[in-house]
Structure 1
């Protein structure tokens, strides 16, 4: 084969400290795939550093520039501008949300930190449009409305706009977002427009967040990408230039300038792709195995999972960046504070600690082997004789062998714990080491079959950039009612392949490398690519959409007009949290943002894995409070004797609720029922269930901006149960026909209301409501018959809002006071002491499974006790708890605790609750047991409805402990005004 036909690629990794470059020969059968590498300091202008690195690799390899077929660059420039809140590189963003009547309680930017909102938040608008989960329109887009919005955007001088529509990722036919984009382009031709379906996946808030971040970077991305292009032109390289993306594939400069957010995680992805390439150069050829890639730098170690496909395992659906919840494709990476510059110390008890602080780039000035006086992990490995070429070993020869061994053991424990947290099974896996700090890693690790150090491992990121491929990603909801799932999945995979080929992949080599929630197809770049997706919506330069362009419009005010955004986020110290007192005046508790945050944390704990994450309700309530609304909580005894109490909550799929957000009036179902019954004596609202999101939904309905009635400090489950009939109201019902619940109402949020007046059995009420809910888009709000004060006195589980607050406060304090190792005991104290609750188990999740039993789907997790060297040291002043063996939740071994007692699984790393979708192998967890209220346990009917027999288990109830009524926040902190 002639030299001119060799497939030579240059890969560049632009890091915060160094810029690495490599030249690869990707010609099939090449005897020397890695031709040269070079490392140079990253320059402030970035481009000159890139030029220097490429120039030296070309010199080392003796390659003519004309032989290079492509250059691929991995960069952290875009994500760093967000991390630094650099207003010179970020633009204010206007947002148009298409969702009809929905979503106004969770406006755009709601989950952004204040500091970032202050930099990015532009005018926001709620417009007609949006889809239901079945693909039908909530409402049609109104072109005149969009034109009026454009007039306001023009008036404000906004240059970047986001269009986000409810369920837009499944909108293949109507194309609402595309329609609105065309209108904006016609009205505002100099404005940059991002539509959410092109950026991220299902879940409106997270998708919208990602699109906002992307839009804010468009101006800077255009300039930066132009600089990258100029850096290669200055070297007289005429080959195509690519950037690498989050999923380990190539993006054209056009796409990178359009979607800078898709480069955010290219660093760890490139290290994994590079490790895979280097591994395949060894004996035996391609390995096709699942491996962990460990990238050890100066400050942190990042571990990712490399799949047999050669691509990284993707992260969980939701994650955060710069404090912003997101859901776009990113690799699953575990980071820990261990690197070559990590400081080594001894604490007061003599225990050796590592990091998390590091000398970073100051390593060669301040560490002992370089003449400094600070002990680091690099000093330890040099002193142990494992890195004799680094620094001066004589400077650390005085270190005690015992201290060296203790530090090495701690490093090993940290690495083994991190490895175990990334594994998905107990099987040993290989580890591929990359990064300059790989000298820290011992050759033998528990749970690891072999530790590999491949040649050129310190340039793996640049290698990963050079060998990246072209991709196509499809995220969608598909109808499987008329076709087998396998056939639908194959059709979607073909769409992903077609998308990759359209982007420039070779159709002969393009295959599907991942097909789960996010199908990804990749193939070798063949040398050309189509233009952007916009082209499919135009024919002969004429828009495929038609609308009224002549009718005059006036600017439509933004929904956030006049809103003042703080420049600083509130950060509480541990002392401030201890001193904090809730605002309770004359028996009324006025919730603050901090109160509502703690209540949300506690509600999720009391949800015992179900009930849904209450974060959405917390954000909506916080937004109301920030706008000046109030939310009051009162004790039942202060309610007037002539007043009634309404209770209820959301019903349906949490997945749908994540797209079709709460409408502007969360009290629709309550109002409809009060009107039907002709009642005007509403005195308070109550949660149906304190566990999960429904523990907070009526706080929003009762706020002064809505019904303006207080919330009772209590609920009718004391937890979360899966059905509407598992309530303490039904425990005390006088019959089985649902008279204690009927009439009940169900509201869709867009104008449809259903009232149920009679039923032959209380279980039928739940069935009918859920059937109606399906026709309402699989999410609705329900309300049950108002209760009298005497009925509440009998059935209500008292002070559960207070209980949630105390749990949330305990978790917050444990984190702030570095007491997470003792969080179990702290939570037990918050719940009333060891009679009321106890830590049932501490360990790591060993397996997660699901099974069918008597017509129901049951989940099961198996938790194994931690080995002695896996557990962290607890506070020595606290009693030490040791656990051995195995615990199963929903298993059939010895019963330790069962419903109606509460069993909550918490993340042992931060004390917060875990919902069932978040259970995964290797996660350190704490299992907390809480004794149920007597409304469930003191009568045969309570046990019939709420104990194990209600779930198909013929097992009698054995109390976990003694119930202790939660202490009332109102009574403790009340001040008379």
Structure 2
């Protein structure tokens, strides 16, 4: 047939685990038949022949001239599957060079990888000079001789793939440290593949470095796979460009895909949503831009994502995991449930109908009742209900004998599961439309609570291939910028234009490229700096792009910044930080029985911490952080790595301390955002030594946490370890939680004056050579503001240590057994997860905290509103939580007839301040500081920090009664109650009675 030369045809291919789908689209504006043909072919072992078969049949059905095919775009799971399968034949060992100066030494590369993956991937790792501060200045400069020495060691090891990461490299547009190191490696080691982190992922050193390592490990396999894809199109005599689709639903050239295979990992769910958007426009030319949920129903699972008015999926939170590895590159936010066309339907011992998560999957054609088998599935239920009378699915006569009440009960359960999943993904109480795709879409009823309309499209079962065919070109910028001279809004517009320019450089149409995401994120404790995340996207121009220009438009090395280096001088010997380290090839899973049977190592009044202990303490510390304090996870990883290298850390009771010894306390100060780039170092121990030298003392007996809440709850364990100060940690702290300001401590509650005599001198260390001793202030509250001002000049991250305390002073001020308390909280959360008992996490945590007198569940529901602002370095805001309705209402297991109703508002200043509950028009403050208010993720029982609050999260709110140091004296209430935060008209009303946490040392001492 004749084809107009102006037609724009695109072929989209989705390579799934079972089937390979192909589609041909006519994307010519005004086309009367945009979808020309689709075909589903079995996925083959070599992948490429399956692609050829699918494309060949689609071309035959469409009967179009191959010369008019504008492009072929493929969505594939090949790369992520090789990682999931730990396939050593497709993965290479990777050497890692981290440029961080003196920082981040305690959390080395691979620290957060599971053993099984480390065993396959971990090559030599090196720390080198370099890295940037948050303001863009250098921590230290790259030393070319040092890098050349590292290259010699990499060559000896026979490593062929290298990952380079530098502190704050995503904002390095002028110095180009990572690029310089890459140039040196290429010169010294020809043929070695190099990945630099700024081209792979975003802010957050550990997660960005992890992504870079995974990407580097896949480079050899990616090049072979992409070459196979190219061969498959050449074999079909297609001369058009070939693209792969990326995680954000945009196109990558083959050259880019072979360089960045990690950017294809989530292309499947993204293509599904992009395809649904295209099909929605196809069915309604006048469709207004709207937020919708896309429901992809397969044979085993249903995946739900949020399609934004831009036509792109809502992205997942900043950090997520894949194969147990924390990452931070762009991925769609997808919620999965165990419901599909092959899900089994049965009854439990009480006669209640259960659907899934077990599924017969692709075997439904032989096992399903409607197909002659004997396993009752959801598809059988839908056929029996008569809902498929217009579809030729199975044999309806085979399901006629299923009792009507069983069909109704199963359909009711299916509907309930779908409605619950929808509610979990909605971002407001308003009804939203649902776009259905996937072969199991027949399960979804038309009438759903919270849904304005259920929309079913033609070609719904080829949505992934359609999404691949209609993919666009994008440009993403994630950066910190100076906002001291221009308003944030003006700087944001400049960054947006850079994103547009980057997309255009990659081949997007200049006239049709728009901003699809733009966010300005304030940085706590800083002024004049702001983080911006911006994405632009546009239609492809139809012209092949230069992959180097496209990918590196943001990160080019200009002639002015390009540097030469000494290639003649002899280099010194470089030593890998993991030299001689033997990595186990298996991870030992921890079962529920392991948790129950576990006994901590306590002997002679000394508790020697284990990996399991610090994992639980980390969980507990974040819950006690009451929304603030920063996530302790990086500190936990550093400690775990230290323990694996032979370090020890002991915990003792304050009564065990010798009367002549003193206790030092302190922690990290600064922005949690900066701590995500400048990882754990041994600065806490050095700061303690420096202050003791200044004071002429040598009688250190132990360390204590300034605050048990958040990351500072574990910093003392690093400094007190056998590889640093080698002193025990005291089981207690001086807040019993986290507070936003340094003067809100129990030390100051019992101070005899307001001049700071209990805390001065205070020592502040930058960790890279700058130190300050504060000896005198007019008022103790000035200590905090002065230290924060100095901290900003030190790169917005520093270590602080206050003057040593005697045993007598500690016995009065110390909140006892809070390390034990955090351990018990973390153990309870771990056991609830292992026993699949998260639905009862409220009562589980209350029990771990001492029972109903000490704590209680205050509320459960869904966050429907989040407001934030930054003022004088602190994050202020408020969340609004709505109770869930009907069958989705989560009940307090201790009060089975009680349900949570109404609305709860929680204002915060870094930490949560109070709980305001409104029900039936009556508003009451049911909890306020100094009592603790923790907001937990109801899906796993772990803490949410205030920066992690977001729309749609299901949460549980726990209240914990504060220690008597805060509540039994007027001074304690003055410093720690709502009065200290400006709520003068809300008197303190105790939540319950304080129950002293039981000491782990006392319970398990041998």
The C-alpha deviation readout for 1:60-91, integer Å capped at 9, x for no partner, is: 01112222111000001001111111111001
1:602 CA drift (Å): 0.6
1:878 CA drift (Å): 8.0
Cα distance between partner residues in 1 of 2:455 and 2:15? 25
Q: What's 1:816 paired with?
A: 834
Q: What's 2:202 paired with?
A: 201
The C-alpha deviation readout for 1:436-472, integer Å capped at 9, x for no partner, is: 0111111111111101001111111101111111111
Correspondence 1:411 to 2:414: yes
1:376 CA drift (Å): 1.6
1:826 CA drift (Å): 1.3
CA contact (8 A) 1:150 1:555 kept: no
Q: What's 1:882 paired with?
A: 899
**Stretch moving more, 961-970 or 368-377:** 368-377
Cα distance between partner residues in 2 of 1:217 and 1:851? 41
**Stretch moving more, 412-421 or 74-83:** 412-421
CA shift in 2, pair 1:880/1:89, >3 Å? farther
Cα distance between partner residues in 2 of 1:539 and 1:149? 23
Q: What's 2:545 paired with?
A: 529
**Stretch moving more, 913-922 or 139-148:** 913-922
Corresponding residue SS for 1:511: strand
Q: What's 1:804 paired with?
A: 822
Q: What's 2:248 paired with?
A: 247
Cα distance between partner residues in 1 of 2:983 and 2:275? 52
CA contact (8 A) 2:129 2:142 kept: yes
Q: What's 1:465 paired with?
A: 468
Corresponding residue SS for 1:571: coil
Corresponding residue SS for 2:512: coil
Cα distance between partner residues in 2 of 1:640 and 1:484? 56
Cα distance between partner residues in 1 of 2:557 and 2:533? 30
1:886 CA drift (Å): 2.1
Corresponding residue SS for 1:331: coil
**Count of residue correspondences:** 974
The C-alpha deviation readout for 1:155-194, integer Å capped at 9, x for no partner, is: 0011110110000000000000000000000001110000
Cα distance between partner residues in 1 of 2:558 and 2:969? 76
Corresponding residue SS for 2:927: coil
Cα distance between partner residues in 2 of 1:50 and 1:235? 10
Q: What's 2:628 paired with?
A: 610
1:286 CA drift (Å): 4.5
**Stretch moving more, 507-516 or 804-813:** 507-516
CA shift in 2, pair 1:713/1:539, >3 Å? closer
**Aligned match for 2:967, one of 932, 937, 945:** 937
CA shift in 2, pair 1:44/1:933, >3 Å? same
Correspondence 1:787 to 2:805: yes
Q: What's 1:721 paired with?
A: 739
Correspondence 1:960 to 2:975: no
Cα distance between partner residues in 1 of 2:288 and 2:35? 18
Correspondence 1:910 to 2:910: no
Q: What's 1:5 paired with?
A: 6
Q: What's 1:520 paired with?
A: 535
CA contact (8 A) 1:538 1:544 kept: no
Corresponding residue SS for 2:928: coil
Corresponding residue SS for 2:510: coil
**Aligned match for 2:681, one of 663, 676, 683:** 663
Cα distance between partner residues in 1 of 2:870 and 2:195? 44
1:233 CA drift (Å): 0.5
**Stretch moving more, 314-323 or 717-726:** 314-323
Q: What's 2:1002 paired with?
A: 971
1:380 CA drift (Å): 1.4
CA shift in 2, pair 1:848/1:898, >3 Å? same
**Aligned match for 1:423, one of 419, 423, 426:** 426
1:385 CA drift (Å): 1.3
Correspondence 1:452 to 2:482: no
1:513 CA drift (Å): 2.0
1:528 CA drift (Å): 2.4
CA shift in 2, pair 1:852/1:214, >3 Å? closer
For normalisation by structure 1, the TM-score amounts to 0.97
The C-alpha deviation readout for 1:286-331, integer Å capped at 9, x for no partner, is: 5321111111111111111111111111111111111111111111
1:543 CA drift (Å): 10
1:850 CA drift (Å): 3.9
CA contact (8 A) 1:95 1:123 kept: yes
**Aligned match for 1:894, one of 902, 921, 924:** 924
Cα distance between partner residues in 1 of 2:403 and 2:836? 30
Q: What's 1:357 paired with?
A: 358
Corresponding residue SS for 2:533: coil
Q: What's 1:295 paired with?
A: 296
Correspondence 1:511 to 2:514: yes
The C-alpha deviation readout for 1:332-388, integer Å capped at 9, x for no partner, is: 111121111112222222222222222222222222222222222111111111224
Cα distance between partner residues in 1 of 2:408 and 2:596? 40
CA shift in 2, pair 1:580/1:336, >3 Å? same
Correspondence 1:274 to 2:290: no
Corresponding residue SS for 1:548: coil
1:864 CA drift (Å): 2.2
Cα distance between partner residues in 2 of 1:691 and 1:738? 23
1:539 CA drift (Å): 9.7
Cα distance between partner residues in 2 of 1:338 and 1:911? 23
CA shift in 2, pair 1:874/1:949, >3 Å? closer
The correspondence of residues 102-113 of structure 1 with structure 2, limited to 5 A, is: 102-113=103-114
1:881 CA drift (Å): 4.0
For normalisation by structure 2, the TM-score amounts to 0.95
1:507 CA drift (Å): 1.8
1:506 CA drift (Å): 2.0
1:920 CA drift (Å): 2.4
Correspondence 1:772 to 2:790: yes
Cα distance between partner residues in 1 of 2:959 and 2:260? 47
Cα distance between partner residues in 1 of 2:118 and 2:560? 37
Q: What's 2:610 paired with?
A: 592
Corresponding residue SS for 1:518: strand
Cα distance between partner residues in 2 of 1:383 and 1:905? 44
**Stretch moving more, 46-55 or 836-845:** 836-845
The correspondence of residues 110-121 of structure 1 with structure 2, limited to 5 A, is: 110-121=111-122
CA shift in 2, pair 1:647/1:539, >3 Å? closer
1:866 CA drift (Å): 2.0
Cα distance between partner residues in 1 of 2:951 and 2:223? 42
Q: What's 1:730 paired with?
A: 748
The correspondence of residues 41-52 of structure 1 with structure 2, limited to 5 A, is: 41-52=42-53
Q: What's 1:304 paired with?
A: 305
1:853 CA drift (Å): 10
Corresponding residue SS for 2:731: strand
Cα distance between partner residues in 2 of 1:316 and 1:81? 25
**Aligned match for 2:482, one of 479, 482, 505:** 479
CA shift in 2, pair 1:535/1:817, >3 Å? closer
Cα distance between partner residues in 1 of 2:651 and 2:937? 29
**Stretch moving more, 856-865 or 334-343:** 856-865
CA RMSD of aligned residues (A): 1.9
CA contact (8 A) 2:883 2:889 kept: no
* Unaligned ranges ≥5, structure 2: 520-531, 908-914, 917-922
CA contact (8 A) 2:891 2:898 kept: no
CA shift in 2, pair 1:531/1:864, >3 Å? closer
Correspondence 1:846 to 2:856: no
CA contact (8 A) 1:162 1:215 kept: yes
CA shift in 2, pair 1:189/1:541, >3 Å? farther
Corresponding residue SS for 2:709: coil
CA shift in 2, pair 1:159/1:852, >3 Å? closer
Cα distance between partner residues in 1 of 2:873 and 2:189? 57
Q: What's 2:599 paired with?
A: 581
**Stretch moving more, 286-295 or 177-186:** 286-295
1:884 CA drift (Å): 2.1
Q: What's 1:154 paired with?
A: 155
Cα distance between partner residues in 2 of 1:832 and 1:539? 60
1:851 CA drift (Å): 6.8
1:647 CA drift (Å): 0.4
Corresponding residue SS for 1:926: strand
Cα distance between partner residues in 2 of 1:90 and 1:824? 43
